[in-house]
Amino acid sequence: MSVIRLADAEPIRLALPKGRILKELKPILEAADIRPEAAFEDGEARQLRFKANIPGLEIVRVRSFDVASFVAFGGADIGVAGRDVLMEFDDPEVYAPLDLGIGKCRLAVAEPEAMAPTDDPSRWSHVRVATKYPNVTKRHFAARGVQAECIKLNGAMELAPVLGLCSRIVDLVSTGSTLRANGLVEIEHIADISSLLIVNRTQLKTRPRLLKAWIDRFRSALDAQAA
């Protein structure tokens, strides 16, 4: 692969998510010839800022839900974030030029298995939902005239119906095994999710040559993997 090396020495900050997406992202970073310093591989380390093999490149490792905030508010120039995060965050300063094709799953509504056979979503007028995506959830239900009361949780969503907080949840679903283990079933699909390369729009306007070169760098890495 011919890797673009335009203005490698110009300072650029890349925000990457912690967790499982980072494992899927590593082959893309390797194909793009981006090699973080050795400390980056230590997932338990307290260090959050890392140097890389490319002069001027700094990598910051943050929570997946925070990548969009870092990029939108100028803490990072580019980053990798899930479509779910961008849908919830919905900030005009974030531009997503490239789907990386990793972290694939779906955002869905689920409810207890015992409710599903007699439940009719078309008759809902009000729902109470546990989710870490209140904005997406409210928009989804409002589109068909349903009022959604959201209970904001950051994890263990499947416990909410079991413990009586609500009857339904909105969460990411991959294989569905976690839902099944907690007696829940998927009843509505909201969106297909994958991870995207994101860019700060202001930086793209003020440093277009540099930012477009980095977008092309990731695009070339994806093309190399597909070849």
CA proximity to 61, closest of 74, 77, 88, 43? 43
pLDDT band at 46; cut points 50, 70, 90: confident
- Residue 84 near residue 193, CB atoms below 8 Å: yes
56 CB contacts (<8 Å, ≥6 apart)? 7, 8, 9, 10, 11, 12
Residue that is written with structure tokens 């380390």 in the block: 45
- Domains of the chain and CATH, by start: 12-103+194-226 (3.40.190.10), 105-192 (3.40.190.10)
Q: What value does the mean pLDDT take over residues 113-131?
A: 93
Separation between Cα atoms, residue 193 and residue 107, nearest integer Å = 7
Separation between Cα atoms, residue 172 and residue 192, nearest integer Å = 9
- Residue 79 near residue 200, CB atoms below 8 Å: no
- Residue 147 near residue 128, CB atoms below 8 Å: no
Residue type, 25: L
pLDDT band at 209; cut points 50, 70, 90: very high
Q: What value does the mean pLDDT take over residues 29-55?
A: 88
Separation between Cα atoms, residue 91 and residue 169, nearest integer Å = 24
Separation between Cα atoms, residue 11 and residue 18, nearest integer Å = 22
Over 60: is that where the pLDDT of 15 sits? yes
35 CB contacts (<8 Å, ≥6 apart)? 29, 52, 53
Separation between Cα atoms, residue 8 and residue 105, nearest integer Å = 34
- Residue 91 near residue 131, CB atoms below 8 Å: no
- Residue 153 near residue 189, CB atoms below 8 Å: no
* 3-class DSSP string for 149-195: EEEECCCCCCHHHHCCCCCEEEEEECCCHHHHHCCEEEEEEEEEECE
CA 101 to chain centre: 12
For residue range 129-188, what is the model confidence (pLDDT) as tens digits?
Answer: 999 999 999 999 999 999 999 999 998 999 999 999 999 999 999 999 999 999 999 999
Given this model, what pLDDT does residue 2 score? 40
DSSP string, 44-62: T-S--EEEBSSTTEEEEEE
